[in-house]
Amino acid sequence: MPGSVNRTNTGTFSTFSPYARDTYATTSSSAGTGGGRNARRGASYKGLFTKELKNLMYGFGDDRNPASDTVNVMEEILVEFILDVCTQASQYSSSNRKARLSIEDLRHVLSRPADAKKLARMEELLFMQEDIKRARAEFDDNEMQGGGKAF
């Protein structure tokens, strides 16, 4: 029954689950067939971030080769987050009658206090991107003027 509460007492700890055992089993089995929100939204992105996530997880203290289930769950969370941010930015963009997403749309979505670190990181990466562009342009100008000296 969907509204029932399942409580089990195992020794000194009690486990609380808002789902009855049989309801949870049918819910989780239908998620793999495309019935769930996550399965529908992230199916085409499976495996896109696997290598990077494994490296990030190792960098944050996980095993060198983390369990594939763990990486898959992390990837589902990441894809859902990216899709949610892009959807919110798209809604903001369309409310301003723009056809394409812009950096300003992403800034608006990440301007909530809870996302302050994400916004700061985005700003830092945008600054570094501009800095790299300037350095490349300066390097190309020096090459064109014959400023490259052989040692």
Thinking of the domain 36-127, which architecture would CATH place it in?
Answer: Orthogonal Bundle (1.10)
SS (H, E, C) 92-151: HHHHCCCCCCCHHHHHHHCCCHHHHHHHHHHHHHHHHHHHHHHHHHHHHHHHHCCCCCCC
C-alpha dist (Å) from residue 86 to 96, 101, 145: 15, 8, 43
Domain layout of the chain by residue ranges? 1-35, 36-127
Is residue 101 within 8 A of residue 89, CB to CB? The reply is: yes
**Could you report the per-residue pLDDT of 34-75, keeping only the tens digit for each?**
444 444 454 578 889 999 999 999 999 999 999 999 999 999
- What's residue 44's pLDDT? 76
What's phi and psi for 78, nearest 5 deg?
Answer: -65, -45
Q: What percent of the chain has pLDDT over 90?
A: 51
pTM beyond 0.85: no
- What's residue 83's pLDDT? 93
**Could you report the per-residue pLDDT of 80-124, keeping only the tens digit for each?**
999 999 999 999 988 888 888 899 999 999 998 888 999 999 999
- What's residue 2's pLDDT? 47
User: What's the rounded Cα separation, in Å, for the pair 65 and 18?
Assistant: 34
- What's residue 46's pLDDT? 86
Place of tokens 């899709």: 83
On average, the pLDDT of the chain sits at 76
pLDDT at residue 22 is higher than 90 = no
Residue with the bigger pLDDT between 92 and 13: it is 92
